[in-house]
Copies of this chain bind each other. A is one copy, B any other.
Amino acid sequence: MSITRDVSVSVSEVMNGRASQSPRARCPAPFLLKTFDLLEEEEGEGNERDGRRRRIVSWNEDGNGFVVWSVQEFSEFILPKYFKHNNFSSFIRQLNTYGFKKSAPNRWEFQHEKFQKGNKHLLVEITRKKCEPSVFPSFLKAYTKDSAADVEENNHLLLEENKNLRKEKLELQMQIAQFKALEIKLLDCLSQNMGSQSKVRRTC
């Protein structure tokens, strides 16, 4: 009974649902593949075309990120080749969606822990950010969305209860004060009425 077979599915894949689908299962998101391929093409034979491309976009020195050297050319020539648009901002949006971080000021360099030169297999570990919240079953979304309001409501209820408790406490304290006064009166009565009979201690 080898139930350990074929369970090499990462947590992240289960999380974002990729693992449960047939063709796309165990495949990186299209965006990641395209971006990776786009960069791998840099590693070509170094002919004129690749040389030109290398000035537009490339892996960084350490191979743990990439740099868009010419936004204009990247947008005009590279993007439409791999995607259905030529907007640099859309490309950036996708990078952020998949958790990439801009890793240098003054130039368009981005990094992701699992996006490394030569390690295409790591791409499956990269998940859409939107998937993290949606680990919550969707039917809980409404609750999550209104949590702020809920907290406020909770607050209000607590405040009400607090007010009532304070009021009750005050009433109890007044009762106790009356009891104390009563005790004194009773003791007075006792000491007076018992007169010469016997001593009375407060504990009776």
* Complex interface: chain B residues within 8 A of A176 (CB): 172, 175-176, 179
B186–A204 CB distance below 8 A? yes
What 1/0 flags go to A49-84 for Cβ under 8 Å of B? 000000000000000000000011001000000000
Whether A151 is near chain B, meaning CB under 8 Å from some CB there, is yes
Question: Is A152 in the interface zone, CB < 8 Å from B?
Answer: yes
The answer to the question of A197 belonging to the interface, with a C-beta cut-off of 8 Å to chain B, is: yes
- A183 CB contacts on chain B under 8 angstroms: 179, 182-183, 186
Residue A193 at the chain B interface, CB threshold 8 Å: yes
Interface of A is mostly: helix
A169: contacting residue among B151, B165, B194, CB under 8 A: B165
Q: A157 — nearest CB in chain B belongs to which residue?
A: B158
Q: List 28 A-B contacts (CB under 8 A).
A: A89-B89, A89-B92, A148-B151, A151-B151, A155-B158, A158-B158, A161-B162, A162-B162, A165-B165, A168-B169, A169-B172, A172-B176, A175-B176, A176-B176, A176-B179, A179-B179, A179-B182, A182-B183, A183-B183, A183-B186, A186-B186, A186-B204, A189-B200, A190-B190, A193-B193, A193-B197, A193-B200, A194-B194
Ranked nearest first, the 9 interchain pairs of A and B with the lowest CB-CB distance are A179-B179, A165-B165, A172-B172, A72-B72, A158-B158, A186-B186, A193-B194, A189-B204, A185-B204
